[in-house]
């Protein structure tokens, strides 16, 4: 086994589960191990306390006139349950079928350490880096990065940079280098419809008072037109059209055809906004999704109640130039306007995040493409992502820097699930990618 | 305390909870106590075993040429939890505010024992009854009477009768004698809509595949027209119109006005089929009700999943001359026809029961009215009930006998809930009612 893999295995053995307070000591030990690795590379390293898990910042000596590049990653991991579904110990990495199997192998220790080891290799081979580098590694990504935005504000002077590089997203297919240049935003809410003051006997009262579950069904159905478009007034007002080059390029990206979406989801059929492919629908068009629906009796068999209330959890994925606050106001207005008679509506706003879009043909974008081309020996594809990574917009808003999303995760990486894995070749490509990226960004 | 109340207290002290196997011995002890009471009255009593709890049958000496009357009741009770909400021990009856407080006080021990003690009093005072009497008391009503229909078939010759009397329904208001002559039927089903093979990340896949929760909302909304009518093709085909006398009488019944329905349910507004009052909607019009709705994430906060499936539990209250089987077929047809694209529908049929209607102006109905008038010294009201009591239709189908529903339960009796209670005056009226009823039915 290579020295690099040995180091990764050490990193993966820490059960740095950030959400579980029983693992607080493991998260800290992992951060301290990381500090030690970075110090061995002669970087200036600081472990910063937060109210929960520490942030690790490492820099080479910054020299005026050079580009300043921040590389962001996270050393915390998701919980491992259900443990019985793992084929091997999640915190004792093994290699088989050309992959590393462990919690965090892909998300994010493997991808993040590839950058660290790329820097280590460049320093070893060349003696110095071509750019001013800042590593920013947090231990709270899996719990929503609650302290990272305040940390950026407090350390603004220390963390200013020209561009941010992040390897925490996906590759469309094995061996296909992938540059992400957009993310969807999000806004969430919960709606409660209340009818009778308690669950009623559906025989004694059914037919005379509004059933909150029936009312909820009508209300939720009103969110979409029959053809799949979102039917909220003004919902599409500020949606930026897809560029022609995007639609053309995306047609030829492997692994994201309509047939691929159908196979990966195991769904009974594709369905969505008319006139768009599955990749267009998920990367560049907004949605209204029901995440949860609950009312009345849900156990086995039947219980003939007329429920006192019904609840729905909704989330809306947003694209440029939609504003989460403006969309949420339109959603609330729609729901209140369409609320059926006989029930009372409570609207509870949830979290939100802005959509993100940068230009992959900007100088930094072109540098990233060239680095991907060099390290994978293949032509990179340019994609947006359907998910939301609020921290990317936060880097933009606080540091004024765009992010390059250089994802190395495959679709079968099982992140957040049992048997998480990361191909050894992706780990090695990540090391090369870091070296090429810093070289390209320096130009 | 009177001897009658003493006997009722003895009866109420048995924790004869039929659903809980830990109480099997208590259910049996209660049946044996009942056998003993009935034997003391010189009735011929049999305790019949079933696969679970025994049936008790008691008769006087049947004489040819007299009417044969069956009085049905049940000696089992509902569980008592949550126990902490009771103001006194549910199995140690107390009297205050003119009411008996105990589990089973109204449902059904108090009402049933009033009939037993009415017969006892008549036998004591007159020496014999004016009719051939059969008491049929079961211990499984609260678990759906699973063995009563087979029992009736096996003992058909022994149980034939001209009419059945049951005191296990409601009075519209205190002091208002109430004769029930109709019940709604029911048919139930559960529907599952399946989309992706597992819950999906709503960012990565939202917009490209059908969301089963959204599809379910549209499907459930299709069950009703906007005005509240059921929108299933042919649903109202065989619904028998209300008689003019019913609509006129029901307008003047105390306790069942629209305002009463609103107050009792604490609902935010009445809603239902246009052109009918609340009592008409619940007693004589069919419904489609959602009893439960479930999909995706239902915990605190948000989890942005695109759920793999959604489930709904539906029940339909039916009126004469709707057929449960025919309606269920129409429901299934409607749901399959309206199922949105991209999801697979599974239809699971549930239990059913036919609607029941008899003529309150038949000779037996008039006898029951006269008995109510005599024992309450007030003019009886004639109602249907919105609920379903399948055993009533079973008596009709197997024994060929109509049932007189002589309910003594008040709306605040808290049956099936903590602090069940029964007014002492209703208990005493029940004893008088039994005496008057047998006298009237003998005519």
Tell whether A290 lies on the interface with B, counting CB pairs under 8 A: yes
Which residues does chain A have within 8 Å of residue B304's beta carbon, measured at their own beta carbons?
A: 186, 188, 289, 291, 315
**Cβ–Cβ gap B273/A207 under 8 Å:** yes
Which residues does chain B have within 8 Å of residue A261's beta carbon, measured at their own beta carbons?
A: 205, 208-209
Positive/negative CA dihedral, B397, B401, B402, B406? negative
Three-state SS sequence of B232-301: CCCCCCCCCCCCHHHHHHHCCCCCCCHHHHHHHHCCCCECCCCCCCHHHHHHHCCCCEEEEEEEECCCCC
Give A40 to chain B, closest Cα distance, Å: 39
Task: Tell me the longest C-alpha to C-alpha distance in chain B.
Answer: 83
Give B361 to chain A, closest Cα distance, Å: 24
**Cβ–Cβ gap A268/B206 under 8 Å:** no
Provide the residue count of chain A: 443
Q: End-to-end CA distance of chain A: give it in Å, rounded.
A: 35
Confidence of residue B351 (pLDDT cuts 50, 70, 90): confident
Supply the pLDDT for residue B417.
85
Interface of A with B in 384-423 (CB under 8 A): 385-388
Q: Among residues B186, B170, B185, which one has the least CA distance to residue B415?
A: B170
Do the Cβ atoms of A19 and A103 come closer than 8 Å?
A: no
Give A16 to chain B, closest Cα distance, Å: 22
Q: Which of B19, B178, B207, B313 to mutate to test the interface with A (most CBs of A within 10 A)?
A: B207
Give A365 to chain B, closest Cα distance, Å: 23
Supply the pLDDT for residue B389.
84
**Cβ–Cβ gap B342/A207 under 8 Å:** no
What 8-state DSSP symbol labels residue B102? S
Task: Tell me the longest C-alpha to C-alpha distance in chain A.
Answer: 83
Supply the pLDDT for residue B143.
85
Asked if omega into A82 is within 30° of 0 (cis), the reply is: yes
Tell whether B210 lies on the interface with A, counting CB pairs under 8 A: yes
Tell whether B216 lies on the interface with A, counting CB pairs under 8 A: yes
Do the Cβ atoms of B178 and B171 come closer than 8 Å?
A: yes
Give dist(CA B31, CA B24) in Å, integer: 11
Supply the pLDDT for residue A417.
85
Nearest CA in chain A to B305: A291
Tell whether B290 lies on the interface with A, counting CB pairs under 8 A: yes
Give B167 to chain A, closest Cα distance, Å: 17
Tell whether A200 lies on the interface with B, counting CB pairs under 8 A: yes
**Cβ–Cβ gap B303/A295 under 8 Å:** no
Tokens representing A74 are 């996270």
Three-state SS sequence of chain A: CCHHHHHHHHHHCCCCECCCHHHHHHHHHHHHHHHHHHHHCCCEEEEECCCCCCEEEEECCCCCCCCEEEEEEECCECCCCCHHHCCCCCCCCEEECCEEECCCCCCCHHHHHHHHHHHHHHHHHHCCCCCEEEEEEECCHHHCCCCHHHHHHHCHHHHCCCEEEECCCECCCCCCCEEEEEECEEEEEEEEEECCCCCEEHHHHECCECCHHHHHHHHHHCCECCCCCECCCCCCCCCCCCCHHHHHHHCCCCCCCHHHHHHHHCCCCECCCCCCCHHHHHHHCCCCEEEEEEEECCCCCCCCEECCEEEEEEEEEECCCCCHHHHHHHHHHHHHHHCCCCCEEEEEEEEEECCEECCCCCHHHHHHHHHHHHHHCCCCEEEEECCCCHHHHHHHHHHCCEEEECCCECCCCCCCCCCCEEEHHHHHHHHHHHHHHHHHHHC
Q: Which residue has the tokens 């909220």?
A: A232
Tell whether B194 lies on the interface with A, counting CB pairs under 8 A: yes
Mean pLDDT in residue range B278-288: 97
Tell whether B301 lies on the interface with A, counting CB pairs under 8 A: yes
Nearest-Å Rg of the Cα atoms of chain A is 24
pTM, two decimals, is 0.89
Per-residue pLDDT of chain A (443 residues), as tens digits, is 899 999 999 999 999 999 899 999 999 999 999 999 999 999 999 999 999 999 999 999 999 999 999 999 999 999 888 899 999 999 999 999 999 999 999 999 999 999 999 999 999 999 999 999 999 999 999 888 999 999 999 999 999 999 999 999 999 999 999 999 999 999 999 999 999 998 888 888 999 999 999 999 999 999 999 999 999 999 999 999 999 999 999 999 999 999 999 998 999 889 999 999 999 999 999 999 999 999 999 888 778 889 999 999 999 999 999 999 999 999 999 999 999 999 999 999 998 889 999 999 999 999 999 999 999 999 999 999 998 888 898 999 999 999 999 999 998 898 888 899 999 999 999 999 999 999 999 99
Which residues does chain B have within 8 Å of residue A303's beta carbon, measured at their own beta carbons?
A: 291-292, 313
Tokens representing A190 are 């919960």
Beta partners for residue A346, in sequence order: A192
Mean pLDDT in residue range B281-308: 92
Tell whether B343 lies on the interface with A, counting CB pairs under 8 A: yes
pLDDT tens per residue across span B314-332: 999 999 999 999 999 999 9
Provide the residue count of chain B: 443
Which residues does chain A have within 8 Å of residue B220's beta carbon, measured at their own beta carbons?
A: 213-214, 217-218, 221
Supply the pLDDT for residue A300.
81
pLDDT tens per residue across span B185-244: 999 999 999 999 988 888 889 999 999 999 999 999 999 999 999 999 999 999 999 999
Q: Among residues A275, A274, A272, which one has the least CA distance to residue A289?
A: A272
Crossing angle between the packed helical segments B3-12 and B24-40, to the nearest 10 degrees: 150
Give dist(CA B78, CA B80) in Å, integer: 6
**Cβ–Cβ gap B292/A311 under 8 Å:** no
Give A409 to chain B, closest Cα distance, Å: 13
**Cβ–Cβ gap A218/B221 under 8 Å:** yes
Tell whether B213 lies on the interface with A, counting CB pairs under 8 A: yes
Contacts of B123 (CB under 8 A, 6+ apart): B41, B42, B60, B129
Burial class (CB in 10 A: 0-12, 13-18, 19+), A403: buried
Q: Closest CB to B296: pick one of A200, A209, A290.
A: A290
Q: ipTM for the complex?
A: 0.89
Interface of B with A in 344-383 (CB under 8 A): 344, 350-351
Q: Closest CB to A272: pick one of B207, B266, B272.
A: B207
Q: Closest CB to A317: pick one of B202, B213, B262.
A: B202
Tell whether A51 lies on the interface with B, counting CB pairs under 8 A: no
Give B200 to chain A, closest Cα distance, Å: 7
pLDDT tens per residue across span B10-59: 999 999 999 899 999 999 999 999 999 999 999 999 999 999 999 999 99
Q: Closest CB to A202: pick one of B204, B213, B289.
A: B289
Q: Which domains does chain A have, with CATH numbers?
A: 3-183+355-442 (3.40.630.10), 185-239+286-353 (3.30.70.360)
**Cβ–Cβ gap A342/B301 under 8 Å:** no
Q: Among residues B77, B81, B161, which one has the least CA distance to residue B113?
A: B77
Give A155 to chain B, closest Cα distance, Å: 31
How many CA atoms are closer than 13 Å to the CA of B154, on its beta-carbon side? Answer: 9
Tell me the CA distances in angstroms from B428 to B72, B106, B129, one per residue in order. 19, 13, 19
Tell whether B224 lies on the interface with A, counting CB pairs under 8 A: yes
Supply the pLDDT for residue A302.
77
Nearest CA in chain A to B411: A204
**Cβ–Cβ gap A310/B293 under 8 Å:** yes
Mean pLDDT in residue range B87-113: 97
Tokens representing A430 are 């990540």
Angle at A367 between CA A362 and CA A369, to 5 degrees: 95
Crossing angle between the packed helical segments B424-442 and B109-126, to the nearest 10 degrees: 50
- How many A×B Cβ pairs under 8 Å? 309
Give B21 to chain A, closest Cα distance, Å: 19
Please tell me which of A78-82, A411-415, B95-99, B267-271 the model is most confident about, judged by mean pLDDT: B95-99
Give B61 to chain A, closest Cα distance, Å: 39
Q: Closest CB to B297: pick one of A198, A261, A291.
A: A291
Q: Closest CB to A220: pick one of B217, B266, B288.
A: B217
Contacts of A357 (CB under 8 A, 6+ apart): A181, A182, A183, A240, A319, A320, A384
Do the Cβ atoms of B290 and B314 come closer than 8 Å?
A: yes
Q: Closest CB to A294: pick one of B190, B293, B350.
A: B293
Interface of B with A in 257-286 (CB under 8 A): 261-262, 265-273, 278, 281-282, 285-286
Do the Cβ atoms of A306 and A337 come closer than 8 Å?
A: no
């Amino acid at each position: 086994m290579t020295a690099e893999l040995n180091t990764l295995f050490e990193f993966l053995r820490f059960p740095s589960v950030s959400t579980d307070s029983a693992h607080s000591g493991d998260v800290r030990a992992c951060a301290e191990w990381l500090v030690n690795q970075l110090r061995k590379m002669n970087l200036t390293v600081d472990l910063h306390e937060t109210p929960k898990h520490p942030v690790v910042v490492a820099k080479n000596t910054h020299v005026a006139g050079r580009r300043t590049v921040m590389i962001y990653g996270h050393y915390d991991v998701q919980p491992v349950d259900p443990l019985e579904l793992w084929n091997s110990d999640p915190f004792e990495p093994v290699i088989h079928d050309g992959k590393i199997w462990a919690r965090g192998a892909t998300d994010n220790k493997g991808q993040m350490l590839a950058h660290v080891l790329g820097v280590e290799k460049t320093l070893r081979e060349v003696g110095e880096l071509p750019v001013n580098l800042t590593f920013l590694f947090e231990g709270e990504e899996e719990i929503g990065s609650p302290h990272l935005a305040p940390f950026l504000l407090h350390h603004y002077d220390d963390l200013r940079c020209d561009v941010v590089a992040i390897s925490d997203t996906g590759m469309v297919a094995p061996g296909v280098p992938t540059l992400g240049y957009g993310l969807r935003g999000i806004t969430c809410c919960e709606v409660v419809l209340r009818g009778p003051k308690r669950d009623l006997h559906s025989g004694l009262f059914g037919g005379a008072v509004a059933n909150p579950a029936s009312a909820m069904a009508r209300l939720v159905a009103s969110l979409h037109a029959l053809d799949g478009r979102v039917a909220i007034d003004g919902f599409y007002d500020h949606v930026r059209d897809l560029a022609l080059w995007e639609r053309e390029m995306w047609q030829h990206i492997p692994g994201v055809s309509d047939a691929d979406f159908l196979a990966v989801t195991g769904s009974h059929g594709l369905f969505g906004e008319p006139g768009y492919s599955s990749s267009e629908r998920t990367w560049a068009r907004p949605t209204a999704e029901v995440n949860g629906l609950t009312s009345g009796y849900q156990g086995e068999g039947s219980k003939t109640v007329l429920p006192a209330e019904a609840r729905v959890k909704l989330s809306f994925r947003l694209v440029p130039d939609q504003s989460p606050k403006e969309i949420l106001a339109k959603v609330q207005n729609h729901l209140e306007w369409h609320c059926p008679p006989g029930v009372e509506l409570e609207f509870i706003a949830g979290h939100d995040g802005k959509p993100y879009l940068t230009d992959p043909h900007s100088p930094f974008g072109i540098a990233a493409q060239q680095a991907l081309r060099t390290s994978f020996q293949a032509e990179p594809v340019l994609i947006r992502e359907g998910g939301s990574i609020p921290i990317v917009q936060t880097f933009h808003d606080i540091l004024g820097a765009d992010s390059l999303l250089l994802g190395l995760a495959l679709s079968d990486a099982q992140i957040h699930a049992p048997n998480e894995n990361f191909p050894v070749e992706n780990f090695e490509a990540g090391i090369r990618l870091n070296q090429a990226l810093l070289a390209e960004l320096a130009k």
